[in-house]
Structure 1
Amino acid sequence: MPKPTKDESLPPMRAGERESRAGGEQYCLSPLPVPTDSEHGVDVAHIDVRHDEATMDLRQGASPESLLITGHVFSVGLVAIGGLALIFLLSAVYKGSLPLELVAGGLGSIYAVILFPLFAGILYPDVVLKRIPPIRLHRQRREVAFVVDAPGRRFWLPDPTNMWLMAISGAIAMPTGIMIFVDMFEWMTNPETAFPLKVLLIHIASLAFLPLYPHFYDFCRKLVGQQRQTVLVPWEDVIAVCGFNPSLSAGGVTGFGWNFALMPPDPERPGYTLPGAGIIVGVGGLPGALAQWEYIRRFMEEGPEAITPSAQEWGLEWYDAQVARERERYERTHDKRRWQRFRREQWWNHARFAHWYTEYRMKHVLPRAVPKDWLAEWSRPLPKAQWARPSRPLTELSEHLRAAYQRGEPFIEMGNVEDRFGVEVEPTPRKAYPTLPFAANAA
């Protein structure tokens, strides 16, 4: 969907159209979810977090990658603190004494290093994951449920997913943590020193801020009537695009990346999408974007038997199997260096904890993004007699496209497929989609 200007919307793209802008390209795959002749329907971005015979939930799930990076940085911090401790220890041996203040400061520094993965790897990502509801597709109703921001003026409090909140609370927690260790040592050794109550309260507040602020934020939004809403968008109106966009910096283009996006249009404003809704994920290239779209489209048009879910690549069971495979390879090849390098890497990145916590997130954190009864009635399977049917234009276009693919014509070179095959599509009436309430305390 083209990005609209502030005062005037741009004409919405249709399936098959391609647009070049800002050094990149954008391909429109829907509205009208036509087949693209992708060889496979693959969940390239691993966004299918749950599906059954009638519904599928799409969202960016938990991944061990960020936890592995956090574990790597944590290990670097511990080694740095250990190096300083060794220097102080050698100095103490040389001088014959070790100031206890240095011991207290060292313990405080270790505590501060531990707080980094707590904030960057656990608390903040959990807040983000709990505030991203899934997109729920119902293939039998041929509808898609999006959670959107309430219309009206923008809320003045910063969103809980704002990274600056994590950075500020972490920047307060780490130095106050060091101060607590140092001040507690002074309080225990010097009777005239007051207990560091203020520092302790500030430190506790900084630790509790990230978990508690989302509840305060939602409470304030509820007071001013800015709660989120669930809209039910017809499947054939949903916008699917894939784009090839450059990454820019002050020095020029730093790289290129392919993205796939699924968004709900605003029926009352052509060229716009509904605020706060949709999903955009990275894919490896145009074939990956088409495969991701085909995975979703085939579920909606053909059913769960037409798709093959991606293999799980997280969790303790998967991690133990990976270690067992590497051990078996070592016993077969006697490649001791490879085995030792693998074990060091897993230990250095705290891989076992990363996979355990990823499994915990998938089972216990992600479900908290929506209330337990969210769309319970709407999500139930329907009797086959009540299933919605594809529209005539979609059926006709799909037949034309499959015939074109047999002739060797690629989808990405056809342009607007409605114009290409002379299929007339009645314009969508400009009226709001059905809207349901969404609990403000879902996070």
Structure 2
Amino acid sequence: MFNTNPKDALPPMRAGERESRAGGEQYCLSPLPLPADSEHAVDVAHIDVHHDDVTMDIRQGASPDSMMTAGHMLSGLALFVNGFFLVVFCMVMIKNTMYDTVLAFWGGALYFGFLFVFILSIVWINTLLKRIPPIRLNRQRREVAFVVDPPGRFWLPAPQNLWLTSAVGVAAAAPGGMGVIEIGEWLRGARESFPVGLTLLHIGAMAFFYVYPPIYDALCRLFKRERRTVLVPWEDVVAVCGFNPNLGPGVVTGFGWNFALLPPDPERPGYTLPGAGIMVGVGGLPGALAQWEYIRRFMEEGAEAITPSAKEWGVEWYNAYVAREKAECERINDPARWRRFRRKRLWEHARFAHWYTEYRMKHILPKAVPSDWLAEWSKPLPNEQWARPSQAVTELSEHLRAAYQRGEKFIEMGDIEKRFGVNVPKATHASYPTLPFRENARPA
């Protein structure tokens, strides 16, 4: 639906329209927040990180699954390194020589493997989470706040850039592993001086991850490239779901369903505002409709109309999960199943994964926005000041509910506005209200 190539813009889709492209399909659920007749309103992608009676913050939060994947990788690397060097050590024992050298290389390889996982799963993900602000929905004002990147390219890579992280990670992990080896050589007297150069390179590369982000932000302020908060009318927000191919290096690796919530650019039909919006994976079209209904019902009906998903992370949840599994194994008298369960959890470092996920949700994610971000805008309003649905939304919602009773389906109706002959006033092509991201200000 939205094309980043300014020479080839696509016409904006309207609610109910469907397109087929590139071997996949795309369904437009909004603009105009209309009921999609989903059986359930469910936060399928677990993007509701906080909501109250007035606002909801949605974003891609921390997940224990990614941490357990990192734990699996760490365990595999440790097993490989220990197995390899155990064989080498046995050969050394036979020849009765080079004990110190093998132990030094053993320690260096273990440290390199630990840094590889640590930089990717802890340092990079934390930097990414700190720099992805949430989308805040205000149901009383019927507005949605998106944080928008400045237009154009900047000559410095962003701190969360994966290529930058990979390059600096290699610069940190390689001298870190070699430094351990050289320190071992120095301790046994095979090296005359302490490896100061490798040690300083390792420390400097690790410090880069924590020093570079504030420097980058300072340069952005200096060159007037700070992000802005844009307040988009709720009825203009675009919601789409698509079944698209997942592309690998030159091949299609599979297909997946995605749900996206995007702010359109009012001055350029067919485009979205730069760097804003969210796209998450969902299990299928029913999951996408359920995710949209969860957001729509909060905005149209309030917090009492939705049921938040159960929290599936944290030490307390993990302890209860382990206790349930243990009770089940005891009930069916299957100790082998319990041992397999415990081995798998230990291999994945599951307890640490859930503890650190809880830490991330409480301490890392809040750093993505200033403490006073949209504080005034997020305050409750008197009922008489609440924004009301447009006549088009009210009329089309009534038509849709009647159609659902007749057995019709939202995704089969095509353009809902044309289907029921309702004329929606054309949006004025003017910029949305904006305010600085890093300070609490009134809309400009």
For the aligned pair, the TM-score class normalised by the smaller chain equals over 0.9
1:114-152, CA deviations, whole angstroms, 9 ceiling, x for partnerless residues?
Answer: 21221011000000111100000000000000000123x
SS at match of 1:145: strand
Alignment of 1:208-287 (within 5 A): 208-249=207-248, 252-287=251-286
For 2:19, the equivalent position in structure 1 comes to 19
For 1:160 and 1:170, how far apart are their aligned partners in 2? Answer: 13
SS at match of 2:28: strand
1:193-247, CA deviations, whole angstroms, 9 ceiling, x for partnerless residues?
Answer: 2322111111001111222221121111111100000000000000000111122
For 1:43, the equivalent position in structure 2 comes to 43
Q: Is the 8 A contact 2:2 2:272 kept in 1?
A: no
Q: Is the 8 A contact 1:238 1:262 kept in 2?
A: yes
For 2:121 and 2:266, how far apart are their aligned partners in 1? Answer: 39
For 2:27 and 2:190, how far apart are their aligned partners in 1? Answer: 72
Q: Is the 8 A contact 1:89 1:98 kept in 2?
A: no
Q: Is the 8 A contact 1:4 1:10 kept in 2?
A: no
Unmatched segments (≥5 aa) in structure 2: 440-444
For 1:2 and 1:147, how far apart are their aligned partners in 2? Answer: 18
1:168-192, CA deviations, whole angstroms, 9 ceiling, x for partnerless residues?
Answer: 1221222211221222233344497
For 1:364, the equivalent position in structure 2 comes to 363
SS at match of 1:280: strand
For 1:90 and 1:159, how far apart are their aligned partners in 2? Answer: 47
Q: Alpha carbons of 1:61 and 1:192: their partners in 2 closer, same or farther (altered >3 Å)?
A: closer
SS at match of 2:245: strand
For 1:186, the equivalent position in structure 2 comes to 185
Deviation at 1:249, TM superposition (A): 4.5
RMSD: 1.5
For 2:70, the equivalent position in structure 1 comes to 70
For 1:209 and 1:5, how far apart are their aligned partners in 2? Answer: 34
SS at match of 1:385: helix
For 1:67 and 1:431, how far apart are their aligned partners in 2? Answer: 44
For 2:424, the equivalent position in structure 1 comes to 425
1:363-402, CA deviations, whole angstroms, 9 ceiling, x for partnerless residues?
Answer: 0000000000000010111111111100001000000000
For 1:301, the equivalent position in structure 2 comes to 300
For 2:326, the equivalent position in structure 1 comes to 327
Q: Is the 8 A contact 1:55 1:139 kept in 2?
A: yes
For 1:123, the equivalent position in structure 2 comes to 123
SS at match of 1:388: coil
For 1:172 and 1:341, how far apart are their aligned partners in 2? Answer: 38
SS at match of 1:26: strand
SS at match of 1:430: coil
SS at match of 2:147: strand
Once the two structures are overlaid, the 10-residue window that deviates more, 153-162 or 348-357, is: 153-162
For 2:442, the equivalent position in structure 1 comes to none
Once the two structures are overlaid, the 10-residue window that deviates more, 248-257 or 165-174, is: 248-257
Q: Is the 8 A contact 1:15 1:29 kept in 2?
A: yes
SS at match of 1:262: strand
Q: Is the 8 A contact 2:185 2:191 kept in 1?
A: no
What letter matches 1:56 in structure 2? M
Deviation at 1:248, TM superposition (A): 3.6
SS at match of 1:344: helix
For 2:285 and 2:141, how far apart are their aligned partners in 1? Answer: 30
Q: Is the 8 A contact 2:92 2:98 kept in 1?
A: yes
For 2:91, the equivalent position in structure 1 comes to 91
Once the two structures are overlaid, the 10-residue window that deviates more, 178-187 or 415-424, is: 178-187
SS at match of 2:146: strand
For 2:57 and 2:25, how far apart are their aligned partners in 1? Answer: 28
For 2:206 and 2:222, how far apart are their aligned partners in 1? Answer: 26
Once the two structures are overlaid, the 10-residue window that deviates more, 397-406 or 89-98, is: 89-98
What letter matches 1:109 in structure 2? A
Q: Is the 8 A contact 1:231 1:435 kept in 2?
A: yes
SS at match of 1:13: coil
Q: Is the 8 A contact 2:264 2:272 kept in 1?
A: yes
For 1:130 and 1:178, how far apart are their aligned partners in 2? Answer: 28
For 1:54, the equivalent position in structure 2 comes to 54
For 1:136, the equivalent position in structure 2 comes to 136
Once the two structures are overlaid, the 10-residue window that deviates more, 1-10 or 125-134, is: 1-10
For 1:19 and 1:33, how far apart are their aligned partners in 2? Answer: 19
Q: Tell me the TM-score normalized by structure 1.
A: 0.96
Q: Is the 8 A contact 2:100 2:188 kept in 1?
A: no
SS at match of 2:343: helix
For 1:169, the equivalent position in structure 2 comes to 168
SS at match of 2:254: strand
For 2:249 and 2:363, how far apart are their aligned partners in 1? Answer: 41
For 1:107 and 1:313, how far apart are their aligned partners in 2? Answer: 36
Unmatched segments (≥5 aa) in structure 1: none
SS at match of 1:254: strand
Deviation at 1:251, TM superposition (A): 6.5
Q: Tell me the TM-score normalized by structure 2.
A: 0.96
Deviation at 1:270, TM superposition (A): 0.8
For 1:79 and 1:20, how far apart are their aligned partners in 2? Answer: 47
Once the two structures are overlaid, the 10-residue window that deviates more, 232-241 or 103-112, is: 103-112
Q: Alpha carbons of 1:167 and 1:236: their partners in 2 closer, same or farther (altered >3 Å)?
A: same
Q: Is the 8 A contact 1:4 1:271 kept in 2?
A: no
Q: Percent identity?
A: 62
